[in-house]
């Protein structure tokens, strides 16, 4: 049985990944849009890989097309790992 993952842990993972893509750490918050953080499609592919590696859940291209904020990404991951 998988160990439950706290949303705060998911948030930390997502924030850290976004920083490596060049997002301004001061701008990272749940309601920040991926567009305002200048997250492009390549960054989304890399973010999906980070999520898959860290949490062993699949994130498809369709999934990432349906997210617009950092909170959407966190919620998507939280729903998949629970």
pLDDT (0 to 100) of residue 49: 94
Domain-embedded: residue 2: no
Which element (helix H / strand E) includes 27?
Answer: none
Give the residue numbers spanning the domain of 26. 7-81
**Is 69 strand, coil or helix?**
strand
Q: Please indicate, yes or no, if residue 1 is contained in any of the structural domains.
A: no
Q: Is residue 29 in a domain?
A: yes
- The one catalytic residue in 24, 31, 40, 53 is 40
Q: What is the pLDDT of residue 55?
A: 94
Two structure tokens written together for 82: 């629970």
63 part of the active site = no
- Whether residue 75 lies inside any domain: the answer is yes
> What is the total count of domains within the chain?
1
Q: What is the pLDDT tens value at each position of the chain, 82 positions in all?
A: 456 788 899 999 999 999 999 999 999 999 999 999 999 989 999 999 999 999 999 988 888 888 999 999 999 999 999 7
């Amino acid at each position: 049985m998988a160990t439950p993952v706290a949303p705060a842990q998911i948030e930390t993972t997502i924030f850290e990944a976004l920083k490596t893509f060049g997002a301004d750490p001061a701008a990272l918050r749940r309601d920040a849009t991926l567009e305002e953080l200048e997250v492009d499609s390549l960054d989304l592919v890399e973010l999906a890989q980070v999520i898959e590696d860290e949490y062993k859940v699949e994130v498809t291209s369709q999934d990432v097309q349906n997210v617009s904020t950092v909170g959407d990404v966190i919620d998507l991951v939280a729903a998949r790992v629970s």
